[in-house]
Structure 1
Amino acid sequence: MEVVVAPVAELARLAADAVQRLLTARPEAVLGLATGSSPLAVYDELARRHAEEGLTFARARAFMLDEYVGLPADHPERYRNVIERDLVSRVDLAPGAVHGPDGLAADLAGACASYERAIADAGGVDLQLLGIGTDGHVAFNEPGSSLASRTRIKTLTRQTREDNARFFGDDLDAVPTHCLTQGLATILSARHLVLLAQGRHKAEAVHQLVEGPVSAMWPATVLQMHPHVTVLVDEPAASRLQLAGYYRETWASKPPWQGI
């Protein structure tokens, strides 16, 4: 696990560099897209590179991490619509290239199984962007989630719903109770995981992710078992890291050609 502590703009640039290197080497690469506030600066940077530098997504495909259950198709906070607004409409991803779990399916369990097959049929995800919740969840794998879990329906914790209420006019009752989410084992199947976190409110979750024991109580800690994980955090999010000085030293000593 590589940890980089830097300003948010620098973190976004590093994540965008990784995406650009991948698409340059493999234009048909499969991306994993996250929603929420953590990847927004990355999407802004990718959109800028597309508009100003010709970065193309035309042959790429993408899979989303999760989706609320039951939100109407035109709801602005349905994750299909969020990712359309934040990234897809700003670059040249082909129509139908972005896939997400179907939170409106009549058979939710069947939709989850189909989503797992679709990821496998695409050859798996090459680079997965991730955020982390204040309680250590990744995607919507809440505390207590099986470390071997696959895409499934989950019940959101009250804390997660309170954290997300800001997207629903601060109305907790408007936040769905259920979601479909890639499981932790599904996420671990991606070849490169890039997790971003900003703000002091994420500091304890980042500390557990990087330096805590692997535990279902902090689901993100399972990422310690992956061979290629990059954790990009700003100074406030890094404030609880015991080895922060070491992480800064290793990053400063890294050969510039190596990338993340």
Structure 2
Amino acid sequence: MQIILCDSEEQVGRRAADLIEARVRQGPAVLGLATGGSPAATYAELIRRHREEGLGFGAVTAFTLDEYAGLPAHHPQSYHSTIRREFTDHVDLPPRRLHTPHGDAEDLAAEAVRYDASIEQAGGIDVQLLGLGANGHIGFNEPTSSLRSRTRVKTLSGATRAANSRFFEGDGEEVPKLCLTQGLGTICESRQAVLVALGEAKASAVQAMVEGPVSAFCPGSVLQLHPRAAVVLDPAAAGRLTLLEYYREAQALQDDLQ
């Protein structure tokens, strides 16, 4: 696990965008896209690079991490609508190559199996962008999720629904109680994982994910087992890391070697 320490949210966005751009410029790529507040600076930087530096997404296929159960794709708070609004509508990624789980499917369990298979049929995900919940969740894999889980239906915790109520005009009752999410096993099959975390509210989860045991109680800790995972942090999110000075030294050495 590579720890990348940044001075600001904007630098977090730039460093995460560097990792994504490096793969996109190699040729046809499959990206895994997260929603929420954490990746916003990354998307803003990728959009800027598309507009000002010619970074093209025409050969990219994208899969979102998750979707609310019961919301059709056109609902303004569906993750299909959200990722279009926040990222893909601002670059040249073909709409037909943007895939999200069908939250309004009649058979959600069958839809989860279909979605997982569609990722495999696309050749697997090259770079998976992730955020981190305050309770350690990635995607919508809440605490106690199986570390080998596949895309499936999950029940959202009260804490997650409360955190997401800001997207539903502050009304927690409007936040769906179920979702479809890529599983931890699915996420770990990505060739590279890039997790971004911002703010003091994420510091405890970051410390548990990076330095705690690999445990279903902190789903993000599964990234300790990922062969190529980068964790990109602002100062507040990194503030509770016990080995913070070691990570700074390792980062400085790596930067010198590049």
TM-score when scaled to structure 1?
A: 0.97
Aligned to 2:154: 154
Counterparts of residues 1-260 of structure 1 (less than 5 Å): 1-6=1-6, 7-26=8-27, 28-255=28-255, 258=258
- Distance in 2 of aligned mates of 1:37 and 1:218: 20
- Distance in 2 of aligned mates of 1:61 and 1:257: 32
* 5+ residue gaps, structure 2: none
Gap change, CA 1:32 and 1:257, over 3 Å in 2:
farther
Q: Residue type of the partner of 1:147?
A: L
- Distance in 2 of aligned mates of 1:59 and 1:256: 33
- Distance in 2 of aligned mates of 1:73 and 1:215: 33
Q: Residue type of the partner of 1:90?
A: H
Percent sequence identity over matched residues? 51
Measure how far apart 1:39 and its partner are: 0.5
The DSSP-based 3-state class of the residue aligned with 2:96 is coil
- Distance in 1 of aligned mates of 2:168 and 2:129: 23
- Distance in 1 of aligned mates of 2:218 and 2:250: 26
Q: Residue type of the partner of 2:10?
A: A
Question: In the comparison of the two structures, how many residue pairs are matched?
Answer: 257
- Distance in 1 of aligned mates of 2:255 and 2:174: 48
* 5+ residue gaps, structure 1: none
Gap change, CA 1:257 and 1:48, over 3 Å in 2:
farther
- Cα displacement string for residues 76-124 of structure 1 (whole angstroms, at most 9, x for unaligned residues): 1100000000011100001211101111101111111111111001110
* 4+ residue runs over 6 A deviation: none
- Distance in 2 of aligned mates of 1:94 and 1:165: 30
- Distance in 2 of aligned mates of 1:252 and 1:86: 33
- Distance in 2 of aligned mates of 1:49 and 1:4: 21
Asked if structure 1 preserves the Cα contact closer than 8 Å seen for 2:74 and 2:80, the reply is no
Q: Calculate the aligned-residue CA RMSD, in Å.
A: 1.0
TM-score when scaled to structure 2?
A: 0.97
Gap change, CA 1:62 and 1:144, over 3 Å in 2:
same
